[in-house]
Amino acid sequence: MNLIEELLETLRGQFTDLRVMMDPPLNAAGVWWADLNLNGHPATVEWRPSLGFGVSSSDDSVFGQGSDEVYPDVESASRRLYALLMGRERTQPPTEIALAKLRKVKSMSQEDLAERLQVKQAAISRLENRPDSRISTIRATIEALGGELELRARFPDGVYTLEQPEIQNPRRKTAPSQGK
Amino acid sequence: MIFTLRYIQYKEYTVPSEQIPKAIRLEEFYRRLTATPPASDFESAFKLIESTLNEVEDELTEIPFDPSQWQLDGRLYPPQADAETALPDWPSVRRFRVRRHHTNIAANGAIEIATVTGSIEWSKPGNDGKGVWET
């Protein structure tokens, strides 16, 4: 029994009404698929032997779109699928955007943003090219762009929104130059 | 990773490239496939799908092409060779799976893209005028 068969076996043990359609590849080292349906609620599992499991549960995926979520092993994938099927939940495609791109989407130049944060334009440039930044810096920048920063942690059993402590330090206005 | 924002003329709109929804990009992919002369064999049909979708995504998004990992980047990817599934009753047709779709390609170059529940989204005969299931 390979890992996707093990995963499906686990789910069949948890849901007696689960309908499963396996779509195996011609070459066993290729990509395996399984379509699940529990009382009308669908989920799709993708298994890449070298990478792990992709999990999706949404009706609006278009041709060529990848899986919404990925899990490294049978245990984490089966926990997530259990939650999706039991709670009739839907997955969402991942969305990521770089800070520089977000600023441009909001039609703001580096100079505009620097003025709002009361820092020099060069500090914004450094921030946008920096591989790692303080959360307080990112939060100040997002607020200057007109948004609100949310921090979320994703676990196999769900997604948690993290509390953000109130920053007492008034250096928030100069945050983009921190960590030089 | 640093992105450069481009603005794209799409129909009567000028929009930032990352704001073009997947459904619109897919529509453009099908439009270009329809406008292309039919393929004459499996290889040219497979390459036609691959090159047309990659061309659309390169033009209408800023997302770099990286099919080797999980494809979580929001780009649309053509079927990959390692996702070929068995179709034992149809020796002249090869089937490739992506998330919720099958791409069926016949030896005469005919193409059909259908959902896994069997609903046909797009199809085109090969250059002999025959459809996928007529070969």
- Per the CB < 8 Å rule, is B18 touching A67? no
Q: Which residues of A touch B86 (CB under 8 A)?
A: 24, 26
More confident residue, A130 or B122: B122
- Amino acid letter, residue A145: L
Q: Looking at residue A170, what is its pLDDT? A: 43
- Range A87-96 average pLDDT: 82
Band of residue A176 on the pLDDT scale cut at 50, 70, 90: very low
- Per the CB < 8 Å rule, is B82 touching A27? yes
Mutation for testing the A interface, residue in B82, B101, B119 having most A CBs under 10 Å: B82
Mutation for testing the A interface, residue in B22, B100, B105 having most A CBs under 10 Å: B100
Check whether A179 has a pLDDT greater than 90. Answer: no
pLDDT in tens, B13-34: 555 555 688 899 999 999 999 9
- Range B37-46 average pLDDT: 97
Band of residue A169 on the pLDDT scale cut at 50, 70, 90: very low
Tell me how far apart the alpha carbons of residues B132 and A101 are, in angstroms, rounded to a whole number. 43
Task: Give the global pTM.
Answer: 0.71
Q: Which residues of A touch B19 (CB under 8 A)?
A: 105
What ipTM goes with this model? Answer: 0.84
The reply to whether A51 touches chain B by the CB within 8 Å rule is: yes
Report in angstroms the alpha-carbon separations of B7 from A54, B14, B21.
Answer: 32, 6, 14
Contact A107, B7 (CB under 8 A): no
Closest listed residue to residue A106, CA positions, set A93, A97, A119:
A97
Q: Looking at residue B15, what is its pLDDT? A: 54
Tell me how far apart the alpha carbons of residues A166 and B81 are, in angstroms, rounded to a whole number. 51
More confident residue, B64 or B13: B64
What does chain B come to in residues?
135
